[in-house]
Amino acid sequence: MEKKVKIGIILIIASGFLIYGAATGSLMSYAFDQINYNYTGFASIPNNTQNGGSLGGPYNINGKGQNFKFTVALKGAENFEDPLCYTKDGLTADGKIDTVNVNLNTIMALLNRDFKKAMFITPLTGHFNMSCAAWTGYGNFSNNGTNFPGNFKIDGAVTDWEGTFKFVSQGNKIAIFTNYIWYPHGQKENGTIHYVNKTYYM
């Protein structure tokens, strides 16, 4: 067989694999965009002191494909927080998964309603907008299959917050490790900055 013919066959086979891979990816993405998901759990904020109490309440993530909504309401938190910062209505957010590397494991996990597994095994990036009481905020996140970090910024009526977070799977729970600062609204350069490291659980 002549070298040119061999090269031609190799190129045809290689092109076939590329087309198959692209088509499979498109089919997976299409399938992902058609799947509705609705995940409810319990979120908690551990106490800061030995004799203190913790706060907790239900959260819900629901959506279809790349678009999702998120709500969380910490029961009783409105009794300890300024009404400008938190009310009994809780926090709401709208988000979108901007890029996602959907695979068969992703589809199967979602069909089996294992949202947590799908969340951690699927490389993705995304962003969200959120609001609670008198403040609004935004952020983004990314998952490379190993690390799942993100960052956020909140503009409040009295106080602003900004920082980073990281999702970590811990058994049946998801730990959210945060590292952020807060300061008087609009006074990051001249106001007093407070530094916080805190872990939340879902």
Q: What's the average pLDDT block by block, 10 residues per block, for the chain (202 residues)?
A: 45 40 52 78 67 70 87 76 76 87 80 82 89 87 91 89 90 88 89 88 82
Nearest residue to 122 via CA among 77, 188, 183, 167: 167
Look at residue 119 in the predicted model and tell me its pLDDT: 82
Nearest residue to 182 via CA among 169, 196, 167, 202: 196
- Whole-prediction pTM: 0.76
Look at residue 52 in the predicted model and tell me its pLDDT: 52
What does DSSP assign to residue 89? Answer: T
Measured CA to CA, the distance from residue 74 to residue 86 in angstroms comes to 9
- Residue 166 is encoded by which pair of tokens? 């990281």
Decide: 11 and 3 in contact? Cβ < 8 Å.
no
Interhelix angle 3-34/104-111, nearest 10 degrees: 20
